[in-house]
């Protein structure tokens, strides 16, 4: 039974099995740890400045040492050094042909580190990190097909290296998240596997503005991803734990009750060590381990958070205190700790920005149907002429004058081939 009293589906993933039982502690900041090593751009990075992903090939000893520094202090899982190891990002360093190999190597390095610390009662896990990249479909920087191909090749390499789960992290665009999920599903399907074998964690980045970079509220994120086969949804990066609190509270109350038969899924919190400050030209993260951990413990206790860890600026000291404190406060066991009361939000459809409830207080739900190329000659002409301003005006007119709550957008019509 899960936290909602629903029967759990059968699973072959040890990671999922452990997640049902206890709070899983992830590692801290890979980037912060790498930059503290003062590596050579020419020798260690092979001239690819800021391409930390190449270090799994040139300095696997350094990357494994970083993984072990977190495992030694109690981390249950480490993330591969592959945040930017998709084809689109690697192309910026002329490394596209090495996409599969770099991801495979990264997973193998992390696996070697975990093998040294795994015990029968405390298994250690490798999470395949997939970052947002540097191009977004929503902003017109790339296409869906290009992004899909980019992520699929990365997923293939991570699977070949033996990861236990994927983590799509630091996401700022819902379309990018959906593309990454679908690419993983495609790569799993090629191996006759599913997310029961290798689960997917999703983590988005909420800015200090209270939304993702492209404007999505956390409620819109949850509504858009509820039916996808992901095992968790949460926040990482951009801010410290204090700034994340209201969004985590919303997820803790609603996310575990969303997704129908998928209900009972975990919430994750992986904050920075506070908000960044500039010190003598360097970016530093000032939040010390104790206040960092205190804030996370509160979320575990009151919001039922099931996955915790650290992002930018967090060190082994942060993770050591986090792991120890969960046990000291008896919060690590998810089967005995009282769960937060969860309730599904009202059924809704969502845009990029916010959800729209199906049930309206003072009206029926009005769906604007004038943006359907198969049923509206006017809209079809605007589409054929690529009159985007005219299309936006038509959309606004339906909202302002017709009172539409939802717009039905259909750009497909007979004879269209693009």
pLDDT surpassing 50 at residue 6:
no
Query: What whole-number distance in Å separates Cα of residue 149 and Cα of residue 96?
Result: 12
Query: What are the Cα distances from residue 296, in Å, to 37, 223, 312?
Result: 28, 24, 15
Q: Find out whether 114 and 78 touch, Cβ atoms under 8 Å.
A: yes
Task: Residue 89: give its domain's CATH number.
Answer: 3.20.20.330
**Distance in angstroms (rounded) separating the CA atoms of residues 382 and 161:** 49
Select from 322, 350, 378 the last residue of a domain.
Answer: 350
Residue 373, domain extent: 367-407
Average pLDDT of span 309-318: 98
**Percent of the chain at pLDDT exceeding 70:** 94
Could you tell me the two tokens for 10?
A: 């059968």
Same domain, 383 and 259: no
Q: Residue 250 falls within a domain, yes or no? A: yes
| Whether 383 and 289 share a structural domain | no
Alpha carbon 64 to chain centroid, angstroms: 23
**Which of 350, 384, 399 is the C-terminal boundary of a domain?**
350
Question: Looking at the structure, do residues 303 and 386 belong to the same domain, yes or no?
Answer: no
345 and 394 fall within a common domain: no
Do 373 and 346 share a structural domain?
no
pLDDT tens for 149-201 read 999 999 999 999 999 999 999 999 999 999 999 999 999 999 999 999 999 99
Residue 136 lies in a domain: yes
Q: Which of 37, 50, 351 is nearest to 220 (CA)?
A: 351
Shared domain check, 375 and 317: no
pLDDT of the residue at 12 = 78
Residue 3 resides in a domain: no
Assess whether 72 and 199 both reside in one domain. Answer: yes
Whether 204 and 315 map to the same domain: the answer is yes
Lowest mean pLDDT among 88-102, 117-131, 260-274: 260-274
| Highest mean pLDDT pick, 202-206, 333-337, 392-396 | 202-206
Other Cβ atoms less than 10 A from the Cβ of 302: the count is 13
Compute the chain's Rg from CA coordinates.
22
Residue 159 belongs to a domain: yes
Average pLDDT score over residue span 249-259: 95
Instruction: Find the mean pLDDT for residues 54-82.
Output: 98
- State the pLDDT confidence band at 71, using cuts at 50, 70 and 90: very high
132 and 254 together in one domain: yes
Q: Are residues 321 and 204 in the same domain?
A: yes
Segment holding 236, helix H or strand E = strand 232-236
Q: Of the candidates 154, 145, 136, 132, which has an alpha carbon nearest to the alpha carbon of residue 86?
A: 154
Nearest to 191 by CA among 145, 152, 246: 152
Q: What's the domain count of the chain?
A: 2
This prediction has a pTM of: 0.89
Joined together, the tokens standing for residue 112 give 């070697």
Domain closes at, from 310, 325, 350? 350
pLDDT (0 to 100) of residue 383: 79
Q: Is there a domain that residue 416 lies in?
A: no
Name the band, by pLDDT with cuts 50, 70 and 90, for residue 129: very high
Q: What is the DSSP string of 336-385?
A: TSPPPP--PPPPEEE-SS-EEESS-SSSPPPEEEEEETTT-HHHHHHHHT
Name which of 63-67, 206-210, 356-360 the model is least confident about: 356-360
Same domain, 158 and 255: yes
Q: How far apart are CA 317 and CA 319, in angstroms?
A: 6
Is the residue at 360 inside a domain? no
> Is 273 within a domain?
yes
Confidence of residue 30 (pLDDT cuts 50, 70, 90): very high
In a domain, 358, yes or no: no
Strand partners, 266: 232
SS3 per residue for 11-61: CCCHHHHHHHHECEEECCCHHHHHHCCCCCCCCCCCCCCCCHHHHHHHCHH
Residue 362 has pLDDT above 70, yes or no: no
Q: Say whether both 115 and 201 belong to one domain.
A: yes
């Amino acid at each position: 039974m899960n936290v909602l009293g629903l029967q759990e589906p059968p699973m072959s993933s040890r990671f999922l099995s452990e997640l049902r039982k206890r709070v899983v502690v992830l590692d801290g900041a890979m980037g912060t740890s790498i930059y503290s090593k003062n590596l050579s751009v020419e020798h260690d990075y092979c001239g690819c400045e800021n391409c930390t992903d190449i270090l799994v090939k040139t300095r696997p000893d350094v990357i494994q040492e970083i993984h072990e520094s977190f495992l030694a202090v109690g981390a249950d899982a480490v993330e591969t050094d592959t945040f930017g190891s998709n084809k689109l990002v690697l192309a910026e360093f002329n490394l596209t042909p090495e996409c599969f190999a770099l991801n495979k190597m990264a997973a193998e390095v992390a696996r070697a580190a975990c093998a040294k610390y795994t015990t029968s009662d405390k298994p250690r896990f490798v999470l395949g990190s997939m970052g947002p990249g540097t191009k977004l479909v929503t902003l017109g920087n790339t296409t869906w097909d290009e992004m899909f191909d980019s992520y699929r090749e990365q997923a293939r390499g991570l699977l070949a290296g033996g990861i236990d789960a994927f983590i799509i992290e630091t996401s700022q665009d819902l379309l990018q998240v959906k593309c990454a999920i679908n690419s993983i599903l495609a790569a799993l399907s090629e191996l006759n596997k599913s997310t029961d074998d290798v689960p997917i964690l999703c983590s988005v980045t909420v800015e200090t503005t209270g939304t993702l970079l492209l404007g999505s509220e956390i409620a819109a994120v949850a509504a858009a991803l509820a039916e996808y086969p992901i095992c968790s949804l949460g926040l990482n990066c951009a801010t410290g734990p204090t700034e994340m609190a209201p969004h985590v509270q919303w997820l803790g109350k609603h996310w575990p009750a969303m997704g129908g038969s998928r209900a009972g899924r975990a919430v994750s919190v992986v904050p920075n060590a506070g908000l960044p400050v500039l010190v003598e030209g360097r970016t530093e993260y000032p939040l010390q381990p104790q206040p960092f951990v205190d804030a996370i413990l509160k979320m575990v206790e009151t919001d039922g958070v099931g996955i915790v860890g650290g992002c930018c600026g967090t060190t082994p000291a942060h993770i050591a205190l986090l792991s120890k404190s969960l046990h000291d406060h008896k919060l690590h066991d998810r089967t005995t700790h009282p769960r937060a009361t969860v309730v599904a939000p009202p059924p809704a459809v969502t845009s990029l920005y916010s959800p729209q409830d199906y049930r309206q207080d003072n009206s029926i739900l009005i769906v604007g149907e004038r943006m359907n190329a198969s049923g509206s000659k006017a809209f079809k002409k605007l589409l054929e002429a690529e009159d985007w301003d005219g299309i936006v005006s038509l959309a606004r007119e339906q909202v302002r004058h017709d009172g539409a709550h939802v717009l039905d957008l259909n750009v497909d019509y007979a004879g269209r081939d693009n």
